[in-house]
Structure 1
Amino acid sequence: MENSQSLKGKQELKRSFPSKIRHGTKEKSPMEGVKLAAIAISLNVRLRSSDMPICMQEHALRCSRQLLDSAPKPRPNLTHLARAIKKEFDSAYGPAWHCVIGTSFGSFVTHSAGGFVYFSIDSLSILLFKTEVELVTEEKEGQRL
């Protein structure tokens, strides 16, 4: 009886918290999600949607907050902010990151698994995602570059 109750508790916990990162099989503990939530609150960030490992989400939130805080106060240049976040993620996690920042925009994007986060800081919304890149090494038969 005791084993069935502990099994029931574990199943309930699994329903409450996602058990796997989408792009891999690495288990993530409920405490990691709590830590990320605490970080988001401390940075005044609202996480909207994500398909990204928690460590990368934390990097995106901290990097964005730091860049926004160091930007000119009355009106930060959103193009410069987006470029800086994109370059940070290109250098840290490989090429083909894209960043959109604004107060009002719509989007529908296709992204690499484990490479998408959408959040807001103050009145700005930030969309950061990665796409796959295929290097073209030689001309394919019947196709021109």
Structure 2
Amino acid sequence: MGETEGKKDEADYKRLQTFPLVRHSDMPEEMRVETMELCVTACEKFSNNNESAAKMIKETMDKKFGSSWHVVIGEGFGFEITHEVKNLLYLYFGGTLAVCVWKCS
């Protein structure tokens, strides 16, 4: 029984970690949802290359919401940024991967 429960718990944990956990956001709801979906798509597509994922997110955000978007993706970083109001999203994906997206012109 213990082994079966352990596998079930592990599967539940992995399933929970496939959804983004928003740590902070001041974006309007529609923009936040679109950005979250974009971040999840990029992180899944480039799961072994954070630089490519960040580039994809930045280029898409620049096209969709105007230029000067910045993206940082990683597991161990701190930051202090200046950003435009209603243009910041900080989330976790996959448990330990953090994504910070902001606009600063």
Shorter-chain TM-score: what band? Answer: 0.7 to 0.9
Q: Relative contact order, CA 8 A, sep 6+: which one is greater?
A: 2
Q: 1:68: which partner in 2?
A: 43
Percent identity, aligned pairs only?
Answer: 27
Higher strand share: 2
Q: 1:54: which partner in 2?
A: 29
Structure 1 Cα separation of the partners of residues 45 and 51 of structure 2: 14
Q: TM-score, normalised by structure 2?
A: 0.79
Q: Among residues 82, 106, 111, which one is paired with 2:78 in the alignment?
A: 106
Q: 2:101: which partner in 1?
A: 128
Structure 1 Cα separation of the partners of residues 45 and 72 of structure 2: 19
RMSD, matched Cα? 1.6
Runs of 4+ aligned structure 1 residues displaced above 4 Å come to: none
- Alpha-carbon shift at residue 113 of structure 1 (Å): 1.0
Q: Which has the larger radius of gyration?
A: 1
Structure 2 unpaired stretches of 5+: 1-15
- Alpha-carbon shift at residue 71 of structure 1 (Å): 2.4
Amino acid at match of 2:99: I
Structure 1 unpaired stretches of 5+: 1-40, 133-145
Q: 1:77: which partner in 2?
A: 49
- Report Cα offsets for 1:78-128 as digits up to 9, x if no partner: 111111100010000000000000001000000011110100101210000
- Report Cα offsets for 1:119-141 as digits up to 9, x if no partner: 01012100000012xxxxxxxxx
